[in-house]
Amino acid sequence: MDSFFRYDGAMAEQTSLDRPGPDLAPCCAPIADGAMSAAEAEVLAATFATLADPVRLRLLSLVANAPDGICGCDLTGVLDRSQPTISHHLKSLTEAGLLEREKRGRWVWYSLRPNALTDLAGVFSSA
């Protein structure tokens, strides 16, 4: 799962040999670069829904500011939310392709997915 955020026409043509999942659907031409299709809008909206929560945004920010990643144990307890809630949000961020997850013994290490932020920035900059 590496190519989060790539446009492939109208969900079309070239078979997805390089695209592991079905979740990497038509996405994401710049907003100001032609009218958006319904399918494109669905995918983008789902991504923004992930960002539309203050706790998730702060978690993303905390991970993004930890160059070598950060232990999940350092993320529970700092945002005034229960451990299940933090775990739930980290799962959302990971499934949205924003974070990467690595299990290390008893701990889980989170890091920013390499192109996550720049891909998102591209949605707002005209081609």
Partner DNA sequence: TCAATGTATCGATGACTGTCAATGGATTCT
Partner DNA sequence: AGAATCCATTGACAGTCATCGATACATTGA
Binding site for its own copies (CB under 8 A): 31-36, 38, 41-42, 44-46, 48-49, 51-58, 60-62, 64-65, 112, 117-118, 120-126
Whether residue 35 contacts residue 55, with contact meaning beta carbons closer than 8 Å, is answered with no
Length of the chain measured in residues: 127
Residues 83 to 112 in contact with DNA, rule: CB under 7 A: 83-85, 87-92, 101, 105-108
Alpha helices in the chain (DSSP H): 38-51, 54-64, 83-95, 116-124
Residue nearer to DNA on the CB measure, 3 or 87 = 87
Stretch that binds DNA, among 9-17, 22-30, 79-87, 119-127 (CB under 7 A): 79-87
Residue nearer to its own copies on the CB measure, 21 or 34 = 34
In the complex, the smallest distance separating the C-beta of residue 50 from its own copies, rounded to whole angstroms, is 8
Total residues interacting with DNA, rule: CB under 7 A: 26
Rounded to whole angstroms, the Cα distance separating 90 from 88 reads: 6
Residue 38 CB neighbour total at 10 angstroms: 7
Q: Site map for DNA, 36-75, x if CB under 7 A? A: -------------x--xxxx---------------xxx--
Q: Is 89 exposed, middle or buried (0-12, 13-18, 19+ CB in 10 A)?
A: buried
Sign of CA dihedral 32, 33, 35, 38: negative
Rounded to whole angstroms, the Cα distance separating 60 from 21 reads: 23
Residues making contact with DNA (CB under 7 A): 49, 52-55, 71-73, 76, 80-85, 87-92, 101, 105-108
